Amino acid sequence: MRNRCPICGELTEYEVKVGDETLHLHRACACEREEKAKDDAKHKSIEKAEKARDIINDGYLNMKFVEWTFEKDDLTNEKTTNRLKNYCSKWDEMKKKNIGLYLFGNTGSGKTFYASAIANYLRKELNEYVLIGSSSAFVQEMFGDFGRNRKLMEYKITHYPLMVIDDLGTESRSEFNMSSLEQIIDLRLGANLPLIVTSNYSPKDLYADGGLLEERIKSRLSEMCVPLVVTKEDRRKGKAVERSK
């Protein structure tokens, strides 16, 4: 008689005929299958957490971006919040069609918050690798220290599913910086992957008095990013008032 599990009552072995011989092989009962499923779920959870930490260490050029998530949104601009949550919910389509965003508006309106919230949603919910930093930080990572990190940064720019350039237009307008930014944006464009940009300047006003390099940057951004204005009272002023109270 074949063995059964004393708890669930299912068979714990099955027979296989090999010539004249009968082999008794192990069979996972309901208890064992349930335990294995729990172990698998635990391992997946650990792997996801480890990858999330890896993504932060590998793709966040400033740890401030980790702090801002949709869960911390004060919903003072609920229309924009819903639009950007919708962008996240359609991420597979956005990635496939290479649809990025150009978030612009006055200082403190929440552009960096929203860009970070999207990045953190993709990191936490979809386990996507994200590359996020200021325009100046990207130039420094790519071309600083005699280009020591250039190959690694080129790989990230051309392979990570989402890239965010924060505060575009605030960097020094030297020919070196503009040329460097053009190369960085060109790499992303060639990779056919989404780019999110935040700026205090509208697409029209960005580098309004610039030369050929600046015009090329603007042209590429207009091809890659859908403009979305973020307008509301300066969040930083609101926080300052609250602290004063």
Q: How far apart are CA 151 and CA 165, in angstroms?
A: 19
3-state secondary structure of 225: strand
Tally of CA atoms within 13 A in the half-sphere of 244 that contains its CB: 6
Q: How far apart are CA 193 and CA 160, in angstroms?
A: 8
User: What is the model's pLDDT at position 45?
Assistant: 73
CATH 3.40.50.720 fits 60-244, yes or no: no
- Over residues 189-229, the pLDDT tens digits come to 999 999 999 999 999 999 998 899 999 999 999 999 999 99
- Over residues 100-125, the pLDDT tens digits come to 999 999 998 999 999 999 999 999 99
Concatenated DSSP letters of 15-34: EEEETTEEEEEE---HHHHH
Give residues with Cβ within 8 angstroms of 137, minimum separation 6. 61, 62
Identify any residues that bridge with 18 across adjacent strands, giving them in sequence order.
Answer: 21
**Paired sense of beta strands 195-199 and 162-166, if any:** parallel
Q: Where are the domains of the chain?
A: 1-55, 60-244
**pTM to 2 decimal places:** 0.75
User: What is the model's pLDDT at position 146?
Assistant: 72
The two three-digit tokens of residue 71, written as one number: 């869960």
The two three-digit tokens of residue 221, written as one number: 């951004």
Using 50 as the pLDDT threshold, list the residues of the chain that sit under it: 240-241, 243-245
User: What is the model's pLDDT at position 85?
Assistant: 98
Do 52 and 127 touch, CB atoms closer than 8 A?
Answer: yes
User: What is the model's pLDDT at position 148?
Assistant: 82
3-state secondary structure of 198: strand
